[in-house]
Structure 1
Amino acid sequence: MTTFISEYLVRVNGHDIFVAEKGSGPVIVMLHGGGPGASGLSNYSRNIDALAEHFRVVVPDMPGYGRSSKHVDHSDPFGYLADTMRGLMDELGLLSAHLVGNSYGGAAALRLALDTPQRVGKLVLMGPGGIGTTRGLPTPGLKSLLSYYGGDGPSREKLAAFIRTYLVYDGAAVPDDLIELRYQASLDPDVVASPPLRRPSGLRTLWRMDLTRDKRVTALPNPTLVLWGRDDKVNRPAGGPLLQRLMPNAELVMTSHTGHWMQWERAELFNRLVADFLSPESDLAIA
């Protein structure tokens, strides 16, 4: 079980952001995904201890999730998340940090790097959102995620179906207590009233959320490791090769029998790849 040096709230732009951290050394800020009931600690439960052996691991709850304030600007969600995480870095006195982002958090990490590359060391993007999202209809997994609070509202059955059918490759491997933990977190009245992740409203917001249409991505200087499960049903695996083609300093690792939650399903491999890539002795190559 993970134990932390500290857990605390940080006031950022008038809103509370919950943070847990462990370890010492170069700083990694780990940004979680946007599924119902997500939080930093639950998303990275199999990774924090291993990475904290080499790094200072900072794990916030993103705005709208966990123990953080529930406000999100839906006109430019990735920009808002990036601004908030940069504000968190300011409050923590971090001039720069490595960023690890999964899905929704991957989009936030990439947007933060695009806006202020000097604040980011290396990037690890795991099945990130915002990649080619205007180039096709939403995936079945994304449709399931976005419909969770619709219809009859949230239910344990809907959440279990999303996680076991779309989030991971082997749904039988997901324990019931993980489903229950996420389900209870998803029932926060503020979240039910205003879900943090929703369908884009308007063409302008939709285009803002496709980060591959941002011309800055082709000149981003930060060394980047892109990780993608070949069986991802939430964000299309084709996004991995797309990022590798667009980004000048990107390496790509794709794994078989892996869904959208690589850091959980392939934790040992994920931890090794991330630790090796972010090591001060490492160059861009990870082989």
Structure 2
Amino acid sequence: MTTRTELPAMQEYVLDVSGKEIFVAETGDGPPVVLLHGGGPGASGVANYARNIAELAKRYRVIVPDLPGYGRSTKGVDAADPFGYLADALRGALDRLGLDRAHLVGNSYGGACALRLALDTPDRVDRMVLMGPGGIGTTRALPTRGLNSLLNYYSGDGPSRLKLERFIRQYLVFNAADVPDSVIDARYRDSVDPEVVAAPPLTRPSGPNALRTLWRMDFTRDERLSRLPVPTLVLWGAADQVNRPSGGRMLAERLPNCDLYLVANTGHWVQFERADLFNRVCADFLAGRR
């Protein structure tokens, strides 16, 4: 049974990064750890890590931004290079915080952001924890049903609470009953923000450069992966229906300093579904205890 921990008091502020507003909440003291949320409809930083922040803050300075396009940050993402856009925004946020280096923890879209930043500027990352990251083998197989559900949320008849609940309960987690209605209600409210509806932050690549964008978003085609020195822990739910668990093996085979942990009876949201396990393993790995 997952322990539900109350959120600690958090300092909140907004950073100006190249004219974009990046909302940040933080708490704790120690080495800096940046928690990067996933890209599902209505996602935001603190909400995605509600079961982890208090425990990690016992050892670390926990920094939780809303990625561009989400929460209280500026809406809109460069559809031609979304992972690069997110990584640039995060790097700018680290600059504004005066952090030369930090640990990065990223789930799904946030994991892709962390990995892209590490590939572009490995000197900025101490250690990295990735949970079912996006962009792993995405051009080597058709999208999963879960990913299609996510990408189709704003298309067709548009967003609805029913579509969001179906995505979360059917595809995002292993045990649908573990997600309270209040989580779905809050995410739905954020997902229909008019600014978000006008510029959804995660969409299916389209247009004449769609193929180029898809290849750019597949890290297994990036030759830099095999030379990345950053110590990395990959946690992947064995029952993930959004990003295939086989992506974990791809990363373990290509990254020269990577540990892989497949988590049984767990879907795409490892840090939420298996919070106790995640908090312990993540904190120990970041401290150098493997």
Structure 1 residue 55: deviation in Å?
A: 0.1
* Superimposed CA distance per residue, residues 257-285 of structure 1 (whole angstroms, 9 cap, x where no aligned partner): 00000000000000000000001xx25xx
Equivalent residue in structure 2 for 1:266, among 241, 260, 274: 274
Q: Deviation per CA, 1:102-124: give whole Å up to 9, x if none.
A: 00000000000000000000010
- 1:82-105 Cα shifts (integer Å, max 9, x gaps): 000000000000000000000000
- Give the aligned partner of residue 167 of structure 2: 162
| Correspondence 1:5-44 to 2 at 5 A | 5-44=10-49
Contact 2:76/2:200 (<8 A) preserved: no
Q: TM-score, normalised by structure 1?
A: 0.97
Give the SS at the match of 1:84. helix
Correspondence for 1:256: 264
> How many angstroms does 1:51 deviate by?
0.1
**Are 2:11 and 1:3 equivalent residues in the alignment?**
no
In the alignment, which of 78, 91, 97 is matched to residue 102 of structure 2? 97
Q: Which residue of 2 aligns with 1:127?
A: 132
CA distance in 1, matches of 2:145, 2:177: 19
Are the counterparts in 2 of residues 99 and 120 from structure 1 also a CA contact under 8 Å?
yes
- Report the Cα distance in structure 1 between the residues aligned to 2:238 and 2:55, rounded to whole angstroms: 24
How big is each residue's C-alpha offset from its partner over 1:141-181, in whole Å with a ceiling of 9 and x where there is no partner?
Answer: 00000011111111111000000000000012211111101
Taking the aligned partners of 1:75 and 1:157, their CA distance within structure 2 comes to 30
**Alignment partner of 1:229 out of 231, 237, 242:** 237
Secondary structure at the counterpart of residue 9 of structure 1: strand
Amino acid at match of 1:238: S
Structure 1 residue 194, shift from structure 2 partner = 1.2
Q: Which amino acid aligns with 2:185?
A: E
| Paired residue secondary structure (1:242) | helix
Q: Measure how far apart 1:190 and its partner are.
A: 0.8
CA distance in 2, matches of 1:172, 1:150: 27
Q: Tell whether the 8 Å contact from 2:56 to 2:279 is kept in structure 1 after alignment.
A: yes
- Of 72, 82, 86, the match for 2:87: 82
| Aligned alpha-carbon RMSD (Å) | 0.7
Q: Distance in 1 between matches of 2:69 and 2:9?
A: 22
Distance 2:189 2:198 in 1: 15
Q: Tell me, yes or no, if the aligned pair for 2:127 and 2:231 is still in contact at 8 Å.
A: yes
Deviation at 1:200, TM superposition (A): 1.5
Mark the runs of 5 or more structure 1 residues left unpaired by the alignment: none
Question: Which of 200, 214, 217 is matched with 1:209 structurally?
Answer: 217
CA positional deviation for 1:3? 2.8
Which runs of no fewer than 5 residues in structure 2 stay unpaired? 1-5
Partner Cα separation in structure 1 for residue 36 and residue 178 of structure 2: 24
Instruction: Provide the rounded CA distance (Å) in 1 between the counterparts of 2:257 and 2:282.
Output: 16
Give the letter for the 2:279 counterpart.
N
Runs of 4+ deviating beyond 4 Å: none
Q: Distance in 1 between matches of 2:56 and 2:185?
A: 26
1:202-261 per-position Cα deviation (integer Å, ceiling 9, x unaligned)? 111010000111100001000000000000000000000110000000000001100000
Answer yes or no: is 1:220 the counterpart of 2:220. no
Aligned residues: 282
Matched, 1:66 2:57: no
Query: Which of 41, 46, 51 is residue 46 of structure 1 equivalent to?
Result: 51
Matched, 1:188 2:193: yes
For 2:280 and 2:249, how far apart are their aligned partners in 1? Answer: 21
